[in-house]
Chains A and B, each alone.
Chain A
Amino acid sequence: MSLFRTILFVAALAGIGTGLVGSAVHIFTTVPLILQAETFEGSGEAEAPAPAETATHEHAPGTAEHSHDADEWGPADGFERNAYTVLAMVLTGFGFGLLLVAASELAGGLTGWRQGVIWGLAGFAVFTLAPGLGLPPELPAMPAADLAARQVWWVGTAAATAAGLALIAFGRTPMLAILGVALIVAPQIIGAPQPASHESPIPESLHHSFVVATIVASFVFWSLLGGLAGWLRPRLATPGT
């Protein structure tokens, strides 16, 4: 089996397993909080821009104002919405699995589940902790800066943190480790794009519960993804690849 196919199969199987478990965790922990937050959507936004908006276009009385997906397709609440969450979670597991397994191949390939969990913890630091410091997990209806700017900062922070961790773990000189620390700190000094005001209709306690649930669920996700990939890799790779 070629190396590419080995990576593909390990990532796919680990991603499916992690995605199924991860979506079950989310559907019982974070998704109910998202649904609860959506009941605040419109209430906060309607207050400030309401006078200007009524002047430009008319809403039928009693119609809920909604900033997006008014006419576009979206899954129906309930089973359909959760089915898409499972699908998206499996794809997320597959995508992150590809990155995790590919990166570990550069270091010689995973040899067992325990080593895989260590790589999973690195993934947790790179994709959850580092971007989450500047852009904490957000609920619907919370104010946020420009989406594209946040996406650029998120990707840049993850990339810099991954490179920094690699320099610390595999760099041959102390100088490289220091450079690694600098790479990890730099995006946090630059700072994530922030909204003009943090005023939000979402109760602080609801947001706090959501942040905790999200980070714990991510920790489980990454431990499982790394552990499964580390367990599968020696079983799927043919000697010599």
Chain B
Amino acid sequence: MPTQNSHSAAASHESIASRTIQITFAALLGVFVLGGVGFSHISAVHNATHDVRHATAFPCH
């Protein structure tokens, strides 16, 4: 597919800055997801994730 070729050609020229930004956003998304599952103080979230918090040794209660 021509579009995919041009895309990967463009990707190979991706600058270090662009890579860094994309890696940072992926890591921030990870922090956001873990913050919700493991650290949120919202009571309903705590109750839904209660067993996982204990079982994976996130600080709980």
Contact = CB atoms under 8 A, between A and B. Distances in A.
A188 interface: no
Contacts of B19: 3, 105
A30 B59 contact: no
Contact of A147 (B49, B57, B61): B61
Interface residues of B, number: 43
Interface in A83-109: 84-85, 87-89, 91-92, 94-99, 101-103, 105-106
A72 B26 contact: no
B57 A84 contact: no
B30 A154 contact: no
B22 A3 contact: yes
A14 interface: no
Given A137-B57, A214-B57, A217-B55, A241 B29 contact: no
B56 interface: yes
Contacts of A68: 43, 46, 61
B39 A151 contact: yes
Contacts of A81: 51
Nearest to A7: B26
Interface string B1-25: 0001001110110100011001111
A135 interface: yes
B59 to A, nearest CB: 4
Nearest to A31: B51
Nearest to A240: B12
B6 to A, nearest CB: 12
A23 B49 CA distance: 12
Interface of A: 1-4, 7-8, 11, 23, 26, 30-31, 34, 67-69, 72-75, 81, 84-85, 87-89, 91-92, 94-99, 101-103, 105-106, 128, 131-132, 135-140, 144, 147, 150-151, 154-155, 214, 217-218, 221, 238-241
Given A81-B51, A214-B56, 5 more contacts: A30-B51, A73-B47, A138-B60, A147-B61, A239-B8
